[in-house]
Amino acid sequence: MLFGAALAFSVWRTKAETRNVLFGCHVSSGMVSRRSTLQSVGVLLVGAGAGCIGSSGPSADRIRWQRNVRGAPVLDGGVLYVMGRLTLYALSPDDGSTQWTTAYEEDDFDQRLCLGSDIAVDDERVYVPGCDALRALRRSDGGRAWAVDTPMRQGVGVGDGRVYANADDLLAIDATTGDIDWRADTGGERLTTPAATPDGVVFTNRVDGVVSAFDADGERRWRYETETETRSPTVADDTVFVATSPDPGRRGRLLALNRSDGSVRWDVDTPSPKRGTSPVVHGDTVYLGCSGRDHGTLVALDRTDGAERWSFTDENSTVYEPAVTDDAVYAGSNDDHIYAFSRDGTPRWQIETNSTVGTVVAGERGLYAANNERVFGIERS
């Protein structure tokens, strides 16, 4: 059932109660379950703006601005950075206006679509991985600060004055000068985006399922084999969270590893985590965007033991990595919608964007999302 034609009448179940919800229209029920989920039973909407989603419905009024720029936005320091096909944009989060751009030509590269959209930033630079090099551009004007001329295989991790990048080896690069401090043989090409920490870096090999940690001097700290396909790690305090997919599209597992020695603190079954995403940790909860053969799922798990707190199921195949604030959770979906939830999983609103929404980021004043066609500035409340 397409959301453009119908809105699911949903069954919302929590640890304390089960509630029938039409995305904010409460109907009480006496059933009890610990698992929270949304299940479709098909109620037809009348008109494009109809419905009871929070208090406002799926209205385009929530969208404050949009730009015809394709790429995953990164918000930092009051600037929204988006790497399009051949142009890096620095945009105002308030109205989407352009602060500066840095453009490249097709003839600059031996391959098409050479520049990756998975950029990273620190206080002074924007880092753009590509098939030929890692480029560091000044945040002030987009001018080139330095480049490391080696093909990049995935996004970069930034932290503690270094950039960690996956080339033929794992590179630890001085963020100020672009000098390579050390390199380590990783034994594989399909590496995920590194997670930088103040005293080193953690990364995984997606296919082989090997999680590795290196100290700041390049010495390997530990190695853990998941024996299944893995996603990019997330480091939060003394724990490394790694999502795996023993059966892609059908089932997954989330592991919590001790950052000091790689020992397993807990691991739990989950839906299959979406490729290219990472667990999101906020407060006492871990959030994971997942894919499925029939539907996607957003799942919220207890950080201490992995117990499921709530989950949401969409009407397509994927829910992407969410953005989480102190009071809300936002996620995009293959069903062309952006969804907003309270931290306890209660639905707030949804917006239709007419295309898959793969990236959502949250700022103090707004929400920013990218679909296959454009970037949006969205009212958060």
In a domain, 210, yes or no: yes
d(CA 63, CA 72): 17
d(CA 68, CA 374): 4
d(CA 161, CA 157): 11
In a domain, 71, yes or no: no
**Alpha carbon separation from 283 to 28, 287, 331, 343 (Å, rounded):** 29, 11, 18, 10
In a domain, 270, yes or no: no
How far is C-alpha 169 from the geometric centre of its chain's CA atoms? 25
Instruction: Count other C-beta atoms under 10 Å from residue 269's C-beta.
Output: 11
Instruction: Count other C-beta atoms under 10 Å from residue 154's C-beta.
Output: 21
Instruction: Count other C-beta atoms under 10 Å from residue 98's C-beta.
Output: 11
> Would you give the DSSP letter of residue 61?
G
**Size of the chain in residues:** 381
d(CA 329, CA 334): 17
Per-residue pLDDT tens, the chain, 381 aa: give them: 333 333 332 333 332 232 223 343 222 222 222 233 333 222 222 223 322 333 333 356 889 999 999 999 999 999 999 999 899 999 999 999 999 999 999 888 887 778 988 999 999 999 999 989 999 999 999 999 999 998 887 789 998 899 999 888 889 999 999 999 999 887 666 778 899 988 899 988 777 788 999 999 999 999 999 988 888 999 999 999 999 988 877 889 999 999 999 999 999 999 999 888 899 999 999 999 999 888 899 999 999 999 999 999 988 889 999 999 999 999 999 999 999 999 999 999 999 988 999 999 999 889 999 988 899 999 987
The upper half-sphere exposure of residue 187, i.e. CA atoms within 13 Å in the direction of its Cβ, equals 10
3-state secondary structure 227-240: CCEECCCEEECCEE
Residue 198 lies in domain = 83-88+98-116+119-192+194-231
d(CA 174, CA 310): 41
Instruction: Count other C-beta atoms under 10 Å from residue 103's C-beta.
Output: 11
In a domain, 333, yes or no: no
Read off the CATH number of the domain in which 226 is found: 2.130.10.10
For 353, the 3-state DSSP assignment is coil
In a domain, 215, yes or no: yes
**Alpha carbon separation from 115 to 151, 175, 351 (Å, rounded):** 10, 19, 30
Nearest to 205 by CA among 229, 183, 240: 229
d(CA 13, CA 269): 19
* pTM summary value: 0.83
In a domain, 316, yes or no: no
Instruction: Count other C-beta atoms under 10 Å from residue 223's C-beta.
Output: 11
Per-residue pLDDT, 155: 83
Instruction: Say if CB 349 and CB 331 are below 8 A apart.
Output: no
157 Cβ contact partners less than 8 Å away, ≥ 6 residues apart: 120, 163, 164, 165, 193, 194, 195, 196, 201, 203
In a domain, 274, yes or no: no
- Classify burial at 158, counting beta carbons within 10 Å of its beta carbon; exposed 0-12, middle 13-18, buried 19 or more: buried
Q: Which residues pair with 352 in a beta bridge?
A: 337
CA angle 353, 139, 370 (to 5 degrees): 10
d(CA 42, CA 1): 8
48 Cβ contact partners less than 8 Å away, ≥ 6 residues apart: none
For the chain, the helix, strand and coil percentages under 3-state DSSP, each to the nearest 5: 0, 50, 50
Instruction: Count other C-beta atoms under 10 Å from residue 144's C-beta.
Output: 11
Domains held by the chain: number: 1
Per-residue pLDDT, 167: 85
In a domain, 362, yes or no: no
